[in-house]
Amino acid sequence: ETGVTQSPTHLIKTRGQQVTLRCSSQSGHNTVSWYQQALGQGPQFIFQYYREEENGRGNFPPRFSGLQFPNYSSELNVNALELDDSALYLCASRGPHTSGNTIYFGEGSWLTVV
Amino acid sequence: ELKVEQNPLFLSMQEGKNYTIYCNYSTTSDRLYWYRQDPGKSLESLFVLLSNGAVKQEGRLMASLDTKARLSTLHITAAVHDLSATYFCALTMDSNYQLIWGAGTKLIIKP
């Protein structure tokens, strides 16, 4: 049990649509990151939030955006979906430095774009 | 730019054998992580290694870190079928918790 929950677990969208994926972290986990994992590949860093501010971004276009809320939940929004956006989207969180360095992952949201 | 290389990318082995997965990285890193991923599942944290010479063990898995060689190893002792999975190493740098990932090692252990 990682204490990181994601929803929905699976969804199918049509090319051009928009999607919102959600993540809920443990209380006190101020840092949340989102990753995209295509089938058969390693995860790719999308962006990271710390105390509701984006403080790191990977090589993803602006149509990938996010939010982090004071209640340790966060969202990943993807606009104008493309077929290549089909992947497993993973949310990861970690607590304060004093709580250790483990980064915990949620179960992921499987997105299929048709 | 931090780059991470894992090898082998695929490993098929018999139960009871020992083997090692290697993770090389290109620049100084703060922390090195090992994760396990079962098919269709998320990532399970195995180890976090922080300093040169760090060694951690859990059951049949042992991870070590040599920061001078920029190398981490994940050693499997007397493999059992339940250890079949894909294993990833990942690193962070500059106190930023962005994980840079290796390509993963798909491990199949045959009874």
Of A2, A42, A94, the CB nearest to B97: A94
Q: Is 60 exceeded by the pLDDT of residue A99?
A: no
By the 8 A CB rule, do B90 and B4 touch? yes
CA distance A98 to B6: 30
Cβ–Cβ of B101/A102 closer than 8 Å?
Answer: no
Q: Are strands B85-93 and B96-101 parallel, antiparallel or unpaired?
A: antiparallel
Instruction: Give the pLDDT of residue A96.
Output: 64
Q: What is the pLDDT of residues A8-51, one digit of tens each?
A: 999 999 999 999 999 998 877 888 999 999 988 999 999 999 88
pLDDT category at B64 given cuts 50, 70, 90 is: very high
- The answer to whether residue B36 neighbours chain A at the CB level (below 8 Å) is no
Query: For residues A2 and B19, which has the higher predicted lDDT (pLDDT)?
Result: B19
Q: Which residues 6+ apart lie within 8 Å of B59 measured at CB? A: none
Q: What is the pLDDT of residues B12-47, one digit of tens each?
A: 999 999 999 999 999 887 789 999 999 988 999 999
Q: Which residues 6+ apart lie within 8 Å of B80 measured at CB? A: B15, B60, B109
pLDDT category at A97 given cuts 50, 70, 90 is: low
Instruction: Give the pLDDT of residue A77.
Output: 98
| Residue A71: Cβ within 10 Å count | 9
Tell me which DSSP letter residue B81 carries: G
Instruction: Give the pLDDT of residue A98.
Output: 59
pLDDT category at B94 given cuts 50, 70, 90 is: low
| Residue corresponding to tokens 């048709």 | A114
Q: Are strands B105-110 and B10-14 parallel, antiparallel or unpaired?
A: parallel
Q: Is 60 exceeded by the pLDDT of residue B78?
A: yes
Q: Which residues 6+ apart lie within 8 Å of B38 measured at CB? A: B44, B85, B86
Of B35, B98, B104, the CB nearest to A33: B98
Q: Which residue, B58, B48, B62, B56, is CA-closest to B19?
A: B62
Among A50-59, A83-92, B55-64, B70-79, which stretch is predicted with the lowest mean pLDDT?
Answer: A50-59
